Amino acid sequence: MARGPRITAWRRRWGPATATRPASSSSIVRATESVPDPVWIGAAVAVLAVLVPPAWRMTRHVVTLVHEAGHAAVALATGRKVRAIRLHRDTSGITESIGRPHGPGMIVTAFAGYTAPPLIGVSMMLLVLAEREVWAWWAVLGVLAAMVLVIRNWFGLLVLLVCGGGVWLLQTRVDDPEWARLVGYAVAWFLVLGGLRATIELAVSRRRGRDVSSDAAVLARLTVLPSVVWNALFIVVAAVCGYICWLGALGGAGRPW
């Protein structure tokens, strides 16, 4: 397959313009150590995407997309039939599935939404750290392609196509693996941190009495546990995923866990 213009590595080696002798090994080591590790560059990008309000208003749609994908995947795994996924301009979404209205299948399906972004984020982080980012990106592309079959509104389809198009371009037009790795780190951190922020926003909505239709409220109706407990579990899952990413990043940067 013909590839587009090659994108050069984000790490560039700069040498003195008037060098008269090769650089010593110690200077090369110092120059290499001064280059920020891509895992931390990805983390910085993710933090900006999550904490800067204008950016979050846009990137929140990606978290919602993964949230609904989590509902759909677990619904299918538990024998339910996914009828529709809709994403809305206000960053909300809904997944409709057909099956028993109660029982373990419905419970794990409801629980899968808020836990999907951080769990997928930490999975991507581990794959990128293992230099298996190509597997991660093709898996993401496969999931997005499958979701086309159940997206039922134009805005949701637009979000899906933008995300899928970005992954496709990354896989087919970017020759340098450093870029794919950097983007993988950024997306992994973003899904974990974005998932954590979404759970905190849910807790704020619950305290204001606006969570009557949230996943935590649905789980409270399906089980004996109140919605505050389910919301806390969402936060714990996201926090643990963030901690695993942090440990993996320290190890990947050459420091002990």
pLDDT for residue 224: 95
C-alpha span between 243 and 233 (Å, rounded): 15
Burial grade of 100 (CB within 10 A; 0-12, 13-18, 19 or more):
exposed
The number of beta carbons lying within 10 Å of the beta carbon of residue 255 is 9
**How do residues 101-111 score in pLDDT, each as one tens digit?**
899 999 999 99
pLDDT for residue 215: 95
84 DSSP 8-state letter: E
C-alpha span between 171 and 183 (Å, rounded): 11
Q: For tokens 């060098």, what's the residue?
A: 19
**How do residues 191-241 score in pLDDT, each as one tens digit?**
999 999 999 999 998 777 666 779 999 999 999 999 999 999 999 999 999
